[in-house]
Amino acid sequence: MRAAARPDLAAIWRRVEELSERRGQDPAEVLAPERLSHLCGVDPLRIPAVVAGTAAELPLERRVHERFLRLRATRRDAHGREWPLAAIASDFDAPGASLGPLNAGAGLPRLGHAAGVQRFFGVYAGFLLADHRSAVERALVLASDSAQGALGAEGGAHGTEDLEHLSYLTGIPPQAIRLTLDGAPPRLPLREQVRQRFAHLRRTRPREDGQPHSLAAIAKSFDASGQSLTRLAQGEGLPNLAAAAGIQRFYGVESGFLLADDTEALATALTGIARELESAEREQENPMLAVMRSHDVRSIVTRAGRLSARGWKSLAAHLDDLLAREGQLGRPAGTDEGNAP
């Protein structure tokens, strides 16, 4: 995601705290570093610094290595043991030795192997690739959704969305989106999927003159040559993991854009749309309702309804006193500075 488009992590953190308290949940539990780490793969000790914007980003190779180790440590087999490399690799028809360098931190896996690892552990398609900030953003959004119970309502949002817009966001052709929404997503070989998504990015996110960005310009952004992307553009091979991360960063899309299957890509897009609609709705609502919601007036009124007439009078006097202290209590018409109550 481009830096300019990124939300304020500290603001999201505060929002999750407020939502948690409103629903009677302990914010410390909802935002526990271990819980967020489980969702995003970032070391729990680094999460406060990432939220504060003071954490230095790790090199891709080290980041992918640490995320892989965290997957093995936190998602164990039925006996509580770490999954053997051979068991993980066999899930995508590869030998266990092919994951040796990744496990030892001695190299990056092939793109197909990275996709297989993420699918094996059931994490989102950008888990290994996402930079720390993007990963924590995603975890905080999930925590926010959990706190406000919004995910259930988002499930029905797709019926009114324009297929072309969803296609732009996901890289999935409109017809494939319809099949996916109907519960029958088409299954493409990973190589063809990545080729289609890359072609979609170049076609729908052109330069200012309307022409697609050249392979050389894209590759230059991550210190590679344009030739390194030629086979990908022609559908003859997969990029390496560093190139996939660079392409997604160049176009400012989610770290799993090239790898996510259709269902996950569509769910991510719909969740973003639903969140934008909710935000716009809040901005357009009656200002008085917004104030009442932000100050939890309903709860106050419910409790105040049990007061006697004398209690109401005392409450009104107390509110006047509070407003006066904050400089918010206007003086009645006709009073002067000396006679003001």
- DSSP letter for 229, please: G
Whether the per-residue pLDDT at 253 is higher than 80: the answer is yes
Q: What is the mean pLDDT of residues 247-273?
A: 85
Identity of residue 155: G
Q: What is the mean pLDDT of residues 269-279?
A: 71
- Give the pLDDT score at 332: 44
Those residues whose C-beta lies under 8 Å from the C-beta of residue 183, and which sit 6 or more positions away, are: none
Q: Which of 156, 14, 131 lies closest to 66, judged by CA?
A: 131
Phi, psi (degrees; rounded to nearest 5) at 58: -85, 150
| Rounded Cα gap, residues 1 and 40, in angstroms | 16
- DSSP letter for 108, please: P
pTM for this one?
Answer: 0.69
For 217-229, the pLDDT digits (tens) are: 999 999 999 999 9
For 144-164, the pLDDT digits (tens) are: 776 665 434 434 444 434 788
Q: What is the mean pLDDT of residues 106-118?
A: 93
Phi, psi (degrees; rounded to nearest 5) at 122: 70, 35
| Rounded Cα gap, residues 34 and 17, in angstroms | 16
- Give the pLDDT score at 131: 84
Report whether 107 contacts 241 (CB < 8 A).
no
Query: Any idea which of 18-22, 176-180, 277-281 has the lowest mean pLDDT?
Result: 277-281
| Rounded Cα gap, residues 145 and 152, in angstroms | 9
Report whether 323 contacts 330 (CB < 8 A).
no
Percent pLDDT > 70 in the chain is 78
Q: What is the mean pLDDT of residues 198-215?
A: 95
- Give the pLDDT score at 334: 47
- Give the pLDDT score at 164: 87
Confidence tier at 326 by pLDDT (50, 70, 90): low
Helix pair 60-74, 241-251: axis angle to 10 deg: 100
Please state, rounded to an integer, the average pLDDT across all residues of the chain: 81
Collapsing DSSP states into helix, strand and coil, what is residue 8? coil
- Give the pLDDT score at 214: 96
- Give the pLDDT score at 287: 55
- Give the pLDDT score at 242: 93
The tokens describing 235, both together, are 């559908």
Whether the per-residue pLDDT at 288 is higher than 70: the answer is no
| Rounded Cα gap, residues 64 and 259, in angstroms | 15
Where b means 16+ CB within 10 Å and e means fewer, 74-108 reads eeeeeeeeebebeebbeebebeeebbeebeeeeeb
More confident: 307 or 180:
180
Query: Any idea which of 26-40, 97-111, 312-326 has the lowest mean pLDDT?
Result: 312-326
Q: What is the mean pLDDT of residues 236-250?
A: 93
Confidence tier at 233 by pLDDT (50, 70, 90): very high
Residue with tokens 């660079």: 246
Report whether 220 contacts 239 (CB < 8 A).
no
- Give the pLDDT score at 283: 60
